[in-house]
């Protein structure tokens, strides 16, 4: 079929791979250990009250700073090479990264088959494909899952560090992915599951922003910039995506 859009950009965690829960578990163990050692009166870390508003979708060190400040803890930034356990933002963030990689090495990373099926259909229809993620582990995960060859461009946390790109909700990583494919944002569809991600898609003026609600946040994704929200991509056919894209262009 002839499609009007030319590119599709996917977030990784929670969109392509089922690693959002792994991130949460790694953050939870890291933060609770850190706060317990400091005898903080509230060392618990929950999904809805802590992970979603302060950490989800943000670059690692921004997430550390955001959450700890919500608990009244202010740490120096430190050095990017600080070892786990160092009382700095980098030290805490690097400890989380170690915990995350340990889980992936032990358990692997699961793929959302519905997303993979859509990616294959888009590829068959000559749509350019990109991944844009805040995670510095993006390439690591794509290699672990053998998905790297499917994508023309991969913009991740390492790219952001090297180029000075701002994290979500700023649209920098998505704009860079579109630029790498020599496309403008309006020619691309964006797939995101985080509130900060759909905010970035709206700010970047992408042709269509599709929110994926894995944890029942449909209304918040819609309010914050998603043009359409689904529980899973299996509920959208390629024809329906094309119709939604055409509809947005005419608005």
- Helix 113-124 vs helix 238-250: crossing angle, to nearest 10: 70
- Would you call 11 a catalytic residue per the annotation? yes
Instruction: List, in sequence order, every residue forming a beta bridge with 228; answer none if it has no partner.
Output: 210
CB atoms within 10 A of CB 116: 16
- Would you call 231 a catalytic residue per the annotation? no
Question: Using an 8 Å Cβ cutoff, are 155 and 34 in contact?
Answer: no
Question: Using an 8 Å Cβ cutoff, are 211 and 200 in contact?
Answer: no
Instruction: List, in sequence order, every residue forming a beta bridge with 192; answer none if it has no partner.
Output: 211
Out of 13, 65, 82, 156, which one is annotated catalytic?
13
Give me 164's structure tokens: 């000075």
Residue entry with tokens 């970035």: 200
**Residues that are catalytic:** 11, 13
């Amino acid at each position: 079929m002839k499609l009007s859009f030319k590119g599709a950009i996917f977030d990784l965690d929670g969109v392509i791979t089922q690693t959002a829960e792994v991130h949460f578990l790694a953050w939870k163990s890291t933060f609770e250990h850190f706060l317990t050692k400091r005898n903080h009166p509230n060392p618990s870390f929950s999904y809805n009250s802590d992970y979603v508003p302060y950490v989800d979708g943000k670059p690692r060190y921004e997430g550390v700073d955001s959450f700890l400040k919500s608990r009244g803890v202010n740490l120096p930034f430190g050095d990017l090479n600080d070892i786990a356990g160092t009382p700095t933002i980098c030290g805490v963030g690097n400890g989380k990264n170690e915990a995350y990689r340990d889980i992936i090495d032990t358990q692997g990373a699961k793929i959302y088959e519905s997303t993979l099926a859509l990616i294959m259909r888009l590829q068959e229809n000559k749509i350019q494909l990109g991944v844009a993620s805040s995670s510095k582990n993006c390439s690591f995960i794509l290699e672990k899952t053998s998905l790297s060859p499917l994508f023309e461009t991969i913009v991740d946390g390492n790219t952001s560090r090297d180029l000075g790109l701002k994290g979500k909700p700023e649209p920098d990583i998505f704009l860079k992915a579109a630029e790498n494919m020599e496309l403008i944002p309006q020619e691309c569809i964006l797939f995101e599951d985080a509130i900060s991600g759909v905010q970035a898609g709206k700010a970047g003026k992408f042709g269509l922003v599709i929110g994926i609600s894995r944890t029942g946040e449909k209304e918040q994704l819609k309010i914050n910039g998603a043009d359409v929200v689904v529980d899973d991509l299996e509920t959208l056919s390629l024809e329906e995506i094309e119709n939604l894209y055409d509809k947005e262009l005419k608005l």
